[in-house]
Amino acid sequence: MESENETFNLEDLPTFLIYVLDKVELVCREQTTDLSKLESHLIVVDKVVGLLRELSLPGVYAILKTNDLEHLKTLSDVFTDILSAMQQLVSTLSVTPATVAENVCVTDRRNPGSNNLAETVLTLFLEAIDNDSGLWPSRIRVDRGVENVLVCEAMVMAREGRDSFIPGPSTHNQRIERLRRDVYRCVCHMYYYVFYGMEMSGILNPEDSMHLFALHLVYLLRINHALDEYKEAFDPHAVRTENNWTPYQMWLNGMMHERNPLVHSQLHDNPDDVEYYGYDPQ
């Protein structure tokens, strides 16, 4: 136990907390025209602030103001969990879009891109449509990220201005949230720990473009193959809460249902409850 009069220097803080503080300072001071680089820094800061707010730890600020090394080490465990969650959100930020038809979640060809640009998302979206014999969804629900802009424009061109895309948080459909969790648990977590271990051991420098190019060259096809295997296992699996129907059966049933306007070629339907279209609070 350290004395109450002793103060902590920057080097006394855990390395992961120093990393976060450096990112904050970089965002505040860096004058750059590289929006993608600045955005990546802002993502780190935003996720840390959001996770801290969600924790709402009582007395956290009081602990930070004290000189109690034992309390600081206890708090460092909390920051370790925060950083782990943040790293998961940022490091696995590859583009793996999913399709929602009515309240049914069916995986498409969930190939990750090497970036999250709007052009990349649109390319993957169109590839998924081609894989479904050119069948466009009636409507899609998307968040308000700029990477979805071109997909929304394509939906308006294909399905016209009939609320063809519904912006809003993905929490409105918990099947999507569970799908993202399962994809990470079954596929992405292995690569996450491999990449994280490479970074911690000094093998991988995420700031080096050559390192990132080599990483994409070696692992992108492997990840694509793993996602394809997951898709083949997910689509035909039985869902207990849906009378053991598979996601693919539910999707086909929704496409052929008499209430589906596409069955009658009625593109101009305008349901009153469009805000809840695809809403699945289960």
Which tens digit of pLDDT belongs to each residue from 191-239? 888 888 888 888 888 888 788 878 888 888 888 888 888 888 888 888 8
Task: Inform me whether the pLDDT recorded for 169 exceeds 60.
Answer: yes
What does the pLDDT read at residue 218? Answer: 82
Least confident of 10-19, 82-91, 243-252: 82-91
Here the contacts of 13-22 (C-beta below 8 Å, separation 24 or greater) are 14/76, 14/79, 14/80, 16/79, 16/80, 16/83, 17/76, 17/79, 19/83, 20/44, 20/45, 20/48, 20/79, 20/83
Task: Inform me whether the pLDDT recorded for 264 exceeds 80.
Answer: no
Task: Inform me whether the pLDDT recorded for 94 exceeds 70.
Answer: no
Task: Inform me whether the pLDDT recorded for 86 exceeds 80.
Answer: no
pLDDT digits (tens, 9 = 90+) for 47-78: 555 555 544 444 444 444 455 555 555 555 55
- Selected residue with higher pLDDT from 135 and 30: 135
Look up residue 247 and give its two tokens: 């996601």
Name 275's Cβ contacts closer than 8 Å, sequence gap at least 6: 166, 168
Q: Is the pTM higher than 0.85?
A: no
- Selected residue with higher pLDDT from 105 and 203: 203
- Selected residue with higher pLDDT from 235 and 173: 235
Look up residue 131 and give its two tokens: 């894989």
Q: Average pLDDT in the 241-249 region?
A: 84
- Selected residue with higher pLDDT from 59 and 115: 115
| Residue spans per domain, the chain | 13-93, 115-168
What does the pLDDT read at residue 73? Answer: 52
The mean pLDDT value of the chain amounts to 67
Percent above pLDDT 90 for the chain: 0
Q: How confident is the model at residue 25 (pLDDT cuts 50, 70, 90)?
A: low
What does the pLDDT read at residue 280? Answer: 55
Distance CA 262, CA 174 (A): 25
What is the full DSSP assignment across 55-115?
H--TTHHHHHHS--HHHHHHHHHHHHHHHHHHHHHHHT------EEETTEEE----PPPSS
